[in-house]
Amino acid sequence: MRDAGRIEAAIRVLNEIESARRPSRLALKAWSDSARYAGSGDRAFVAGLVLDALRRRRSAAWCMGSDTPRGAVLGVLALHWGWPADRIAAAFAEAPHGPGALDADEQAHLARPIDISGATDAVAADLPDWLAPAFARVFGDRVRTEGEALARRAPVDLRVNTLKSDPARALRAAGPLGAHPVPDLPLTLRIDPPQAAQRTPSVESLPAFLKGGIEIQDAGSQIAADCAGDIKGAQVLDLCAGGGGKTLALAAAMASTGQVYAYDSDARRLADTVRRGERAGVRNLQVRTPLRPDPLKDLEGRMDLVFIDAPCSGSGAWRRHPDTKWRLTPEALTRRQADQDAVLDAGVLYVRPGGRMIYVTCSVLAEENEDRVAAFLARRPDFHILPATDAPHLLPRLTAEGYLRLTPATSDTDGFFVAVLARADGRTPA
């Protein structure tokens, strides 16, 4: 495919996402299935342009004076892909596959110096207007910086599975794909984000991945699991296990001692956990499915640690799932807060006296983070906050309360929030 056809395909996919409110993953798959003539490079170009247009939708459209998929694509090509105006004009005008020649207004916008300094914070940070106050509450005068970082492409991070490998072996295996160590994270390797129109290397094809020596997991997610501390020999419940990424990280930290239980209220999310656990060499994992009656009844009051990777807005992962930024609504955020309150209250059932509960979200919003923990502590005075980490390189990321907040701008990870809550041991003070 020539550039003209690729750009036209990207605009069509964006129109489908917008008009049908279809997730980008499904819209791109539908296009790919229908475009059998497209090669791997074509698919990488179209997917990259679609996702970049979603990441930068407001700032790109503002630069072009047009809040449409076509305007966003034009803005991304000029502002972020670095295409000169004549190349853009030629691709759009190319018949019969281009999106159509630029009109006079589009030509005028492309001819101007690109500058978003006069835009509102919400536009410059690529946020919906209604979320700008929530960002200002958390980040103050750093709204633009934090929003811009959440609109960049994300790297591929790998976790070295110490049950089957070590950092040196993993680096030798993944090095040919461009993987390199991450400072202060000895079990993390990183493949930097691809350039515009380039494909991300296929980690899943590596023998080291197929044999369980490495896992794909964002560094922020790895850090959140590390906040469990020394859990060798412990009884651990991952209450919202999902696909099992943090479950496997916890199991590796336990070095096949103790027991880790994986549960999720949606049984479908647990489908891959057993398979992934076997590949990773985990021998202390029990998957508890909600399809059984009272699947966690025998764990009540027994857990040294209950790990809660709570359902959330996913605002911390907008780099990877940019369409969710525009689908989020105030009503959906309110529902998520209710879910978070419910799962915190459910987790209490399993924490033994003197045990801990770790509350994690991949959100940067205080409404899902500090507010939820504060509300929980008001309901449960038998719990108190512990510092989320004592790792020296992470201490600057601790809040005054002792919570851990990670963002792409401050820690070069996805956005995460971690609160460690300890339960009183029940003994009467002397």
Question: Which residues are known to be catalytic?
Answer: 362
Give yes or no for a cis peptide into 381 (omega within 30° of 0): no
**Is residue 103 exposed (0-12), middle (13-18) or buried (19+ Cβ within 10 Å)?**
exposed
In degrees, rounded to 5, the angle at the alpha carbon of residue 142 between the alpha carbons of residues 336 and 155 is: 70
| Length in residues, the chain | 430
Is residue 245 within 8 A of residue 272, CB to CB? The reply is no
Q: Within 10 A of 395 (CB to CB), how many other CB atoms are there?
A: 11
Is residue 260 within 8 A of residue 251, CB to CB? The reply is yes
Confirm whether residue 121 is marked as ligand binding: no
Confirm whether residue 309 is marked as ligand binding: yes
Query: CB under 8 Å to 102, separation ≥6 — which residues?
Result: 74, 88, 89, 92, 93, 110
Q: Within 10 A of 158 (CB to CB), how many other CB atoms are there?
A: 30
Packing angle of the helix pair 104-111, 69-79 (nearest 10 deg): 30
Q: How far apart are CA 108 and CA 288, in angstroms?
A: 60
Q: Give CA 84 to chain center in angstroms.
A: 32
Please report the sign of the dihedral spanned by the C-alpha atoms of residue 46, residue 48, residue 52, residue 54: positive
Q: Which residues are annotated as a binding site for S-adenosyl-L-methionine?
A: 264, 309
Q: Which residues are annotated as a binding site?
A: 264, 309
